[in-house]
Amino acid sequence: MARAPAWPPWTPAPDGLYRGPILPRTNPRHLSILAQRPAPLTVLDWGCGTAEYRSAVRDVLRHRYVGFDMTGTGADVRGDAHRLPFRPESFDHVITNSVLQYMGDPVAAVREVARVLRPGGLFSGSTAFLEPHAQRSHFHLTADGVLHVLRTAGFRVEAIWPQEDWLVYDSLAEMPGPVSGPTRWVLRRVAAFERLVGARRLHPREIETGRWLRRKTPRDRHVELLSLAGQIDFLAIKPASS
User: Is residue 25 within 8 Å of residue 7, measured between CB atoms?
Assistant: no
Q: What is the pLDDT of residues 162-216, one digit of tens each?
A: 999 999 999 999 999 999 999 999 999 999 999 998 998 887 888 888 888 889 9
| Domains of the chain from N-terminus onward | 28-164+229-237 (3.40.50.150), 169-222 (no CATH)
Q: What is the pLDDT of residues 64-97, one digit of tens each?
A: 999 999 998 999 999 999 999 999 999 999 999 9
Q: What is the mean pLDDT of residues 35-56?
A: 95
- Closest by CA to 87, choosing from 118, 66, 59, is 118
Check pLDDT > 60 for residue 104.
yes
Element containing residue 97 per DSSP (H, E): strand 91-97
User: Is residue 234 within 8 Å of residue 160, measured between CB atoms?
Assistant: yes
